[in-house]
Amino acid sequence: MSATMATAKPLNRAAMAARAAQDLREGWYVNLGIGIPTLVADHIPSGREVIFHSENGILGMGPAPSPDQVDPWLINASSQYVSLQPGACFLHHADSFGLVRGGHLDLCVLGAYQVAENGDLANWAMTENDPAPQIGGAMDLAVGTKEVWVLMEHTTKDGRARVVHQCTYPLTGRGVVTRVYTNLAVLDVTGRGFVVIDIIPGLTIEALQARTEAKLHLP
Amino acid sequence: MSATMATAKPLNRAAMAARAAQDLREGWYVNLGIGIPTLVADHIPSGREVIFHSENGILGMGPAPSPDQVDPWLINASSQYVSLQPGACFLHHADSFGLVRGGHLDLCVLGAYQVAENGDLANWAMTENDPAPQIGGAMDLAVGTKEVWVLMEHTTKDGRARVVHQCTYPLTGRGVVTRVYTNLAVLDVTGRGFVVIDIIPGLTIEALQARTEAKLHLP
Amino acid sequence: MINKIVRSMDEAMSGIQDGSTVLIAGFGHVGQPIALIQGLVEQGARDLTIVSNSGGRGHTGPLARLFEQDRVRKIICSFLRASSLAGELVRVGKVELEVVPQGTLAERLRASGSGVQAFFTPTGAGTKVAEGKETREIGGRECVLEYALHGDVALIEAWRADRWGNAMYRATGRSYNPIMAAAAKLTIMQTQHLAELGELDSEAITTPGIYVNRVIHVPYGDPPPP
Amino acid sequence: MINKIVRSMDEAMSGIQDGSTVLIAGFGHVGQPIALIQGLVEQGARDLTIVSNSGGRGHTGPLARLFEQDRVRKIICSFLRASSLAGELVRVGKVELEVVPQGTLAERLRASGSGVQAFFTPTGAGTKVAEGKETREIGGRECVLEYALHGDVALIEAWRADRWGNAMYRATGRSYNPIMAAAAKLTIMQTQHLAELGELDSEAITTPGIYVNRVIHVPYGDPPPP
């Protein structure tokens, strides 16, 4: 790889979440997956009303409470203590996933192992016969939500691409991802493949392409 | 027809309802259909706790209120004002029929045009192409409830049998009826057909058979 | 700030297209959004498919106006009275009819709102309503395949609602309202009472606002007598 | 007088057979009926199929005891941690695993309680969980046919319940509880609070007593920390 990142500083997790949070719109109903996506809630521009869903049965989930405000009966899908937005309500599991599968959420933001240029998502297992599968609610969110954004590191720790021509890991959903936010760039999934709509300062398209298996396109 | 009813006095509607009400058991969840079945609720022996379902969304329906106690938002499936039993709750239509179809009700009591000896029920239309069909919830109740009792006049006004070998009217459900209460008798539907388990005083089995198309059996 | 509360019936009804499938909630007059049905009469959309528990009674009321004005192409219901205007128009072939067992009607609406595309139900197996439909024995019971029933528009009546569209119903005013609210692309709700956001009990909200697009305050009118 | 309230854990657990499918509610520790799971451990039934959102964490807690005592033949869940005892036993082939997407698991339980025998869902189409299953394109979407999931026994945790078995939950303690309560032949409920009949709000009862066979008062114990 000749491309370097000498002057470019990859986003840290908080900055990745903040970048995605910028693009959430007023009035959207949003589910945030486990991991980095959870951080998106902390970066919504003030005054912008966004309603968060947690698939274990909250519509109108608020931020982590202060320690003296913890309700042990109120957790999110990552089993962390949360609070409620005014206007929140509770749902049982069939209603909560009916809401997901029925196409009512505007957006979910998920982590991923791989995203392919056709929108395929792989985020639940790294081998074909994972003995401990962790599907959870991801397959329902992937097929049911109007927009599916992925928030992930652009490459694995050992430098392999996650933004790929074709997923090699077991799929969560086919053709479902609409946008990818990484620590290096923002990519839209389009009919012609990945289109770069944002890139961190100091990084060239060539350097980004060198870290990406799929072919990148310009807008 | 040689058999006469010289000494036998057919039950009136209230007495038919009272006869059926005798057989309801403590703790049963019961749906009462439109018409005579509705009257069953008025004849439950005192102290016997029976819980009534109305398919428009009440579990724990109480009797008609006094005029000054009417809540215009509280009606039964016949659009009559009702009250609540303590412990009642409301259900939306999918939950209310989920409860029906899911086999959770112990009993429904329905009116009918015809009941056949194999348990077939016809209670929603009198011609194959009724231009104004009134199915309502009867088909769900017929297939979903543990016991389906029919409460009806033994014959039509012009003397034709309703207790038949085979239904000629469009079916509500196949093989669903378990017992029939008429103004003349109580019949169980069994593997060998109708079995007479009660008959009004003064009426002979022969006289009952003369008013019945299906073959009657003794217990 | 999210605010789904609209100020006029014109605003509530805007954009309803000719040819729409309109879900009209309520059972009897209870939970039936009479002001919204009247709004639809005035709005003028034609060639409608109406989904409603029944075709109404007699010739009075706003639902009958839609039929009287030749605005309805088809009715999907579980119960049609011969004496109703809808019943008369069906009999003479002016309105198309699809009759559906009540529990199947409810479940098809619930399926639509919850992303289930089709389901096997024992209801109606071996009867006229199963004619022409796929059937299959599952778990020892003959079942009929029924499809999700999608609305373009739902007209809903709540008891109390807030600016997010969260709603509670009253008594048997619940009926079809929650499942129809979730089954349409455009859900319009009339409510007898408005609540401040946060005022409705999180444990008791029956329709979450996510299913509701517009709320109009109609601060009068218990259901008329049956 | 109807009274579903039982006085002892022995009475609550009586009649659970070897080979039963046991639905265990809750998400994380919240809404998980810990006292009843402990009761099942003591009751002794073997060869169980456990249906639960996840296989638990680590090696502690009453669910892990069931696995440790070799009482579980199969687990049906949406999420299995490699580090859990259940995960370890699955890996070495001692416990059978059926993994189900969470929404499909919820819907299969809801189908069971509501008499739907099977349904077509888009969830999982084109993935490993659809392998070997019937698929069909409906409304332009590829769907997977999934079947109702029936329990012999359900273990449920309520917040408040009455002698009819009517119940309300608290916050995210709701989760699988209402749908599992309706999906089993024998539903056993622990409740932190008892209410007099008529005391629970008719508009806010989440599980009607018709789904509940036995109620036991366990008057302590907020969920342990995650």
pLDDT tens-digit series, residues C127-140 = 999 999 999 999 99
pLDDT higher than 70, residue D110: yes
What are the two backbone dihedrals, phi and then psi, of residue A168, each rounded to the nearest 5 degrees? -105, -15
What pLDDT score was predicted for residue A5?
63
Judged by CB atoms closer than 8 Å, whether chains meet at A92 and D179 is answered as yes
Which member of A49, A55, A128, A213 is catalytic?
Answer: A55
pLDDT higher than 60, residue C121: yes
Three-class DSSP category at C89: helix
Q: Token digits for D204? A: 């806010």
pLDDT higher than 50, residue B133: yes
Q: What is the C-alpha to C-alpha distance for residues B106 and A150, in angstroms, rounded to an integer?
A: 50
Among C136, C161, C175, C140, which residue's Cα sits nearest to residue C211?
Answer: C161
Picking from C114, C197, C208, the nearest residue to A101 by CB comes out as: C114
Q: Looking at beta carbons, which residues of chain C come within 8 Å of A87? A: 162, 164, 166, 197-198, 200, 209
Picking from D115, D138, D204, the nearest residue to C201 by CB comes out as: D204
**Closest approach of chain C CAs to the CA of A88, in angstroms?**
6
Can you tell me the ipTM of this complex?
0.96
Judged by CB atoms closer than 8 Å, whether chains meet at D123 and A91 is answered as no
**Closest approach of chain D CAs to the CA of B141, in angstroms?**
11
Query: Does chain C touch chain B (at least 3 C-beta pairs within 8 Å)?
Result: yes
**Closest approach of chain D CAs to the CA of A173, in angstroms?**
7
What pLDDT score was predicted for residue C81?
92
Q: Looking at beta carbons, which residues of chain D come within 8 Å of A135? A: 78-79, 99-102, 129
Q: Does D74 lie at the interface with A, CB-CB under 8 angstroms?
A: no
What pLDDT score was predicted for residue B150?
98
Judged by CB atoms closer than 8 Å, whether chains meet at D87 and A131 is answered as yes
Judged by CB atoms closer than 8 Å, whether chains meet at C114 and A105 is answered as no
What pLDDT score was predicted for residue B7?
78
Chains with at least 3 CB pairs less than 8 angstroms from chain C: A, B, D
pLDDT higher than 60, residue A23: yes
Residue A17 contacts residue A42 (beta carbons within 8 Å): yes
Element (H, E) at C38: helix C34-43
Mean pLDDT of C171-184: 98
Q: What is the C-alpha to C-alpha distance for residues B101 and D112, in angstroms, rounded to an integer?
A: 10
What pLDDT score was predicted for residue D80?
94
Q: What is the C-alpha to C-alpha distance for residues C219 and C216, in angstroms, rounded to an integer?
A: 9
Q: Looking at beta carbons, which residues of chain A come within 8 Å of D177? A: 92
Residue C125 contacts residue C135 (beta carbons within 8 Å): yes
**Closest approach of chain D CAs to the CA of B174, in angstroms?**
17
- Looking at residue C127, the DSSP 8-state letter turns out to be S
Q: Does A127 lie at the interface with D, CB-CB under 8 angstroms?
A: no
Q: Token digits for A211? A: 């870290």
pLDDT higher than 50, residue B187: yes
What pLDDT score was predicted for residue D77?
97
Judged by CB atoms closer than 8 Å, whether chains meet at C203 and D121 is answered as no
Q: What is the C-alpha to C-alpha distance for residues D114 and D183, in angstroms, rounded to an integer?
A: 8
Q: What is the C-alpha to C-alpha distance for residues A76 and A150, in angstroms, rounded to an integer?
A: 19
Judged by CB atoms closer than 8 Å, whether chains meet at D119 and C119 is answered as yes
Give the model's confidence band at A126: pLDDT under 50 very low, under 70 low, under 90 confident, else very high: confident
Q: Does A164 lie at the interface with C, CB-CB under 8 angstroms?
A: no
From residue A108, give the alpha-carbon distance in Å to each of A40, A46, A49, C201, D124: 11, 20, 16, 26, 17
Strands (E), chain D: 5-6, 21-24, 48-51, 72-77, 96-99, 118-121, 135-138, 141-147, 151-161, 167-168, 184-194, 214-217
Torsion sign across C-alpha atoms D48, D53, D59, D63:
negative
Q: Looking at beta carbons, which residues of chain D come within 8 Å of B137? A: none
The full set of domain ranges for chain A reads 5-217
Reported as a single tens digit per residue, the pLDDT across B2-53 is 455 667 899 999 999 999 999 999 999 999 998 889 999 999 999 999 999 9
pLDDT higher than 60, residue A3: no
Chain C contact probe: residue of B38, B52, B78, B93 with most C CBs at under 10 A: B93
Q: Token digits for B48? A: 């016997």
What is the average pLDDT score of chain A? 94
Mean pLDDT of C210-220: 96
Of all residues in chain C, what percent carry a pLDDT higher than 90?
94
Is the backbone of residue A164 left (phi > 0), alpha (psi -120 to 50) or beta?
beta
Q: Token digits for A134? A: 């962790």
**Closest approach of chain A CAs to the CA of D43, in angstroms?**
28
Picking from C27, C31, C80, the nearest residue to B134 by CB comes out as: C80
Q: Token digits for B26? A: 């403590």
Mean pLDDT of D59-75: 94
A153 part of the active site: no
**Closest approach of chain A CAs to the CA of C114, in angstroms?**
4
Element (H, E) at C181: helix C177-182
What pLDDT score was predicted for residue A4?
58
Closest residue on chain B to D185 (Cα):
B104
What pLDDT score was predicted for residue B2?
43
What pLDDT score was predicted for residue A2?
43
Chain A contact probe: residue of C205, C207, C211 with most A CBs at under 10 A: C205
What pLDDT score was predicted for residue C151?
98
Judged by CB atoms closer than 8 Å, whether chains meet at D118 and C143 is answered as yes
Picking from D117, D119, D202, the nearest residue to C141 by CB comes out as: D117
Judged by CB atoms closer than 8 Å, whether chains meet at C169 and D111 is answered as no
**Closest approach of chain C CAs to the CA of D205, in angstroms?**
8
Q: Looking at beta carbons, which residues of chain D come within 8 Å of A81? A: 226
Judged by CB atoms closer than 8 Å, whether chains meet at B73 and C121 is answered as no
| Secondary structure of D137-195 as H, E, C letters | EECCEEEEEEECCCEEEEEEEEEEECCCCCEECCHHHCCCHHHHHCCEEEEEEEEEEEC
Report D:159-198 residues touching B (Cβ under 8 A): 162, 164, 166, 182, 197-198
Q: Looking at beta carbons, which residues of chain A come within 8 Å of D105? A: 93
Judged by CB atoms closer than 8 Å, whether chains meet at A92 and D27 is answered as no
Q: Please name each of the domains of chain C with its CATH number.
A: 17-99+150-217 (3.40.1080.10)
Reported as a single tens digit per residue, the pLDDT across A45-72 is 999 999 999 999 999 999 999 999 999 9
CATH placement of domain A5-217 = 3.40.1080.10
pLDDT higher than 70, residue D12: yes
Closest residue on chain C to A29 (Cα):
C210
pLDDT higher than 90, residue C220: no
Residue D150 contacts residue B73 (beta carbons within 8 Å): no
What pLDDT score was predicted for residue C22?
98
Mean pLDDT of B77-81: 93
Q: Token digits for D71? A: 């009482």
Among A33, A17, A47, A12, which residue's Cα sits nearest to residue A107?
Answer: A33
Q: Looking at beta carbons, which residues of chain D come within 8 Å of B97? A: 114
Of all residues in chain D, what percent carry a pLDDT higher than 90?
93
Q: What is the C-alpha to C-alpha distance for residues C190 and C178, in angstroms, rounded to an integer?
A: 13
Among D30, A27, D197, which residue's Cα sits nearest to residue C209?
Answer: A27
Q: Give the residue with greater pLDDT, D25 vs D221.
A: D25
Judged by CB atoms closer than 8 Å, whether chains meet at D169 and C203 is answered as yes
**Closest approach of chain D CAs to the CA of B90, in angstroms?**
6
What pLDDT score was predicted for residue A205?
96
Q: Does D107 lie at the interface with C, CB-CB under 8 angstroms?
A: yes
Contacts 24+ apart (CB under 8 A), C64-72: C65/C38, C65/C41, C66/C37, C66/C40, C66/C41, C67/C95, C69/C41, C70/C46, C70/C94, C71/C41, C71/C45, C71/C46, C71/C47, C72/C48
Judged by CB atoms closer than 8 Å, whether chains meet at A29 and C205 is answered as no
Q: Write out the DSSP string of chain B.
A: -----SS-----HHHHHHHHHHTPPTT-EEEE-TTGGGGGGGGPPTT---EEEETTTEEEEEPPPPGGG--TT-B-TTS-B-EEEEEEEE--HHHHHHHHHTT--SEEEE--SEEETT--EE-S-SSTT-SS-B-TTHHHHHHHSSEEEEE--SB-TTS-BSEESS--SPPSBSS---EEE-SSEEEEEETTEEEEEEE-TT--HHHHHHT-SSPEE--
pLDDT higher than 60, residue D169: yes
What pLDDT score was predicted for residue A1?
42
Element (H, E) at C99: strand C96-99
Mean pLDDT of D145-168: 98
From residue D126, give the alpha-carbon distance in Å to each of A172, C223, D74, D78, D193: 9, 49, 25, 18, 46
pLDDT higher than 50, residue B1: no
Judged by CB atoms closer than 8 Å, whether chains meet at A93 and D122 is answered as no
Query: Does chain A touch chain C (at least 3 C-beta pairs within 8 Å)?
Result: yes
Mean pLDDT of C102-114: 98
What pLDDT score was predicted for residue B159?
94
| Buried/exposed B47-61: b ≥16 CB within 10 Å, e otherwise | eebbbbbbbbbbbbb
Chains with at least 3 CB pairs less than 8 angstroms from chain B: C, D
Reported as a single tens digit per residue, the pLDDT across C44-95 is 999 999 999 999 988 988 899 999 999 999 999 999 999 999 999 999 999 9
Chains with at least 3 CB pairs less than 8 angstroms from chain D: A, B, C
Q: Write out the DSSP string of chain A.
A: -----TT-----HHHHHHHHHHTPPTT-EEEE-TTGGGGGGGGPPTT---EEEETTTEEEEEPPPPGGG--TT-B-TTS-B-EEEEEEEE--HHHHHHHHHTT--SEEEE--SEEETT--EE-S-SSTT-SS-B-TTHHHHHHHSSEEEEE--SB-TTS-BSEESS--SPPSBSS---EEE-SSEEEEEETTEEEEEEE-TT--HHHHHHT-SSPEE--
Q: Looking at beta carbons, which residues of chain D come within 8 Å of A73? A: 30-31, 159, 170-173, 222-223
Q: Does D168 lie at the interface with C, CB-CB under 8 angstroms?
A: yes
Mean pLDDT of C120-125: 97
Q: 10 Å Cβ neighbour count for C33?
A: 26
Of all residues in chain D, what percent carry a pLDDT higher than 70?
100
β-bridge mates for residue D187, sequence order: D154
